[in-house]
Structure 1
Amino acid sequence: MTEIPLVRLLYPLALALLVAWWYISWSGDRKTPWAGLARMLAQLLLVGYVLAYIFQTEHVLVVLGTLALMSLAAGWIALRTETKKRIRLYPYALLGVVGGGGLALLVAVELVLRPEPWWKPSVLIPLGGMAFSNAMNAVSLAAERFFSERREGKGPTRARAAAYKAALIPATNALFAVGIVSIPGLMTGQILAGVSPLIAARYQILVMLMVYAAAGLAAAVFLEAVRRLAVDGEAGY
């Protein structure tokens, strides 16, 4: 794969800065675009060094510890829109992320890819990131829609149905668009690295199934938990 000199990243950065300028000019919000861009740059530069270390490790606990930190962060970030209920909802969001994302990851890695060793970091960490991030997004959308429906007077079961449908919109859209509207990052990267498009397609099918399952399972676990709280008459649910 062609190595990208750092200086060439200034070109897409210029476009991103243009978008940030429009955002600030039209919305008056000066904080969000700069904070987002700064965090993205810092986090990706940092994660590059961290992953270089993790990929060379021979300790299973380092790999599992990394996955645990990823899931803990994902559960917390998923509730960004529910600040007043965040602490109370966190165990259920974490259960959704770990249960849904973890099960999808387990099936993809241990039943399909079967790396040696089973905890091979170059396989487990990237796929874990995909599974947990999609689970996180699904839980976030589910939480926002569920409580929005509840505030409008909908019952717990109807709110759950609407929230589950909303939570799966991104993952479902991706299923329809893949290969037609977009060529996903994993497949693009493999093709650029010289892998046969047919083999790359198999890996992408695996990833698409994994992230769809992760999103659906995570949202289902979270929504069923909060629905039961609402049925039991817990305040605020």
Structure 2
Amino acid sequence: MNLPEIGYLELLISCFPVVLVAVIFYRWKANSKELIIATLRMVGQLIAIGFVLVYLFKETSSWLGLLVMSIMLVAAGWIAMRPLVDKSLKHIAQLSSALLLGCGSILGLVIVFVLDLSPWYQPRFVIPLAGMLLANTMNSLSLSGERFDTEVKAGALLEAARNKAFYTAMIPQINCLLAVGLVALPGMMTGQILSGVSPLVAVRYQIVIMVAILCSSAFSTAWYLMSRHRQSVDEN
């Protein structure tokens, strides 16, 4: 069964509710400008990456793949820093290093030992997997960093602030594990089922992804918070 094609008119119809969301943002004194900019960026970035992926999926150069993933890594670190107070280059280096450690180790495990890709760099698999890990992990870093700053500002001990920040960052990940299959079918699994893959095969892929996201988020967040903890101790 082929997926129904979504034309430009149907795409506009799907985006119409965003106008209503913008109205709510405006009436409730939220930042409607940020919503509009984020939505326009999302559309533009996805259209652009669609053209890029068409090229990348035909190109098997591992060096080009590493360059693309490096750009994704730095961008994820920069976005993770957005809600945090410290906007320094040192801080973005901390965030990017944490992403590299957590996401890089888990991505390597999945590529080599789970998918057993040969050669290891196959862009159709590697780039989407890297994107899923980085996107989810950067959210965990933002949550942990914001909570750590809040706890320290409130006068909490550094170790207690670190522990609370880690727990806060892990709440969305734990909620996802509890809800999957009961409340929602995740995006990757749904996409595979819509494309005709057996639900039982899609489930196995989704388990791999869920575990990978959980572990990369936990490893990256723990490393980042340990780095912040050491930095705060040195400053004091």
Same fold (TM over 0.5): yes
Deviates more, 1:117-126 or 1:24-33: 24-33
Q: CA deviation at 1:6?
A: 2.3
RMSD, aligned α-carbons: 1.3
What residue is the counterpart of 1:126 in the other structure? 128
Q: Deviations over 1:142-191 (max 9, x none)?
A: 10000110000011110000000001111111000001110001000110
| Structure 1 stretch displaced more, 29-38 or 219-228 | 29-38
How many residues are treated as equivalent by the alignment? 234
Residue among 16, 19, 22 paired with 2:21: 19
CA–CA separation in structure 2 for the residues paired with 1:140 and 1:33 = 18
CA contact (8 A) 1:20 1:34 kept: yes
Aligned positions of 1:79-118 closer than 5 A? 79-118=81-120
Name segments (4+ residues, structure 1) moved above 3 Å. 83-86
Aligned counterparts, 1:66-77, within 5 A: 66-77=68-79
Which residue of structure 2 lines up, in the alignment, with residue 163 of structure 1?
Answer: 165
Residues 133 and 213 in structure 2, CA contact (< 8 A), matched pair in contact too: yes
Give 1:201's aligned residue: 203
- Identity percentage of aligned residues: 37
The amino acid that maps onto 2:176 is A
Q: From 52, 55, 61, give the equivalent of 1:53.
A: 55
Cα distance, 1:43 vs structure 2: 0.5
Q: In the alignment, is the contact (CA less than 8 A) between 1:96 and 1:135 conserved in 2?
A: no
- Whether the 8 Å CA contact 2:60–2:121 is kept in 1: the answer is no
Q: 1:22, 1:172 → 2: CA distance?
A: 30
Please say if residues 80 and 86 of structure 1, whose CA atoms lie closer than 8 Å, have aligned partners that are also in contact.
Answer: no
| TM-score of the aligned structures, taking structure 1 as reference length | 0.95
Secondary structure, aligned partner of 2:16: helix
Show CA shifts across 1:191-231 (max 9, x none).
01111100000000000000001110110000000101112
SS at match of 2:156: coil
Rate the CA distance shift 1:128–1:28 in 2: closer, same or farther, 3 A.
closer
Question: How far apart in 2 are the matches of 1:190 and 1:84?
Answer: 40
User: Aligned partners of 1:30, 1:138: CA distance in 2, in Å?
Assistant: 24
Q: Give 5+ residue unaligned stretches, structure 2.
A: none
Q: Residues 58-112 of structure 1: CA distance to partner in whole angstroms, max 9, x if unpaired? A: 2111111111110011111111112444433122111111101111111112110
Tell me the secondary structure at the aligned position of residue 206 of structure 1.
Answer: helix
Instruction: Structure 1: give runs of 5+ residues left out of the alignment.
Output: none
TM-score by length of 2: 0.95
1:172 aligned onto 2:174: yes
Residue 38 (structure 2) pairs with residue 6 (structure 1): no
Q: Distance in 2 between matches of 1:131 and 1:28?
A: 29
What's the offset of the Cα at 1:28?
Answer: 5.5
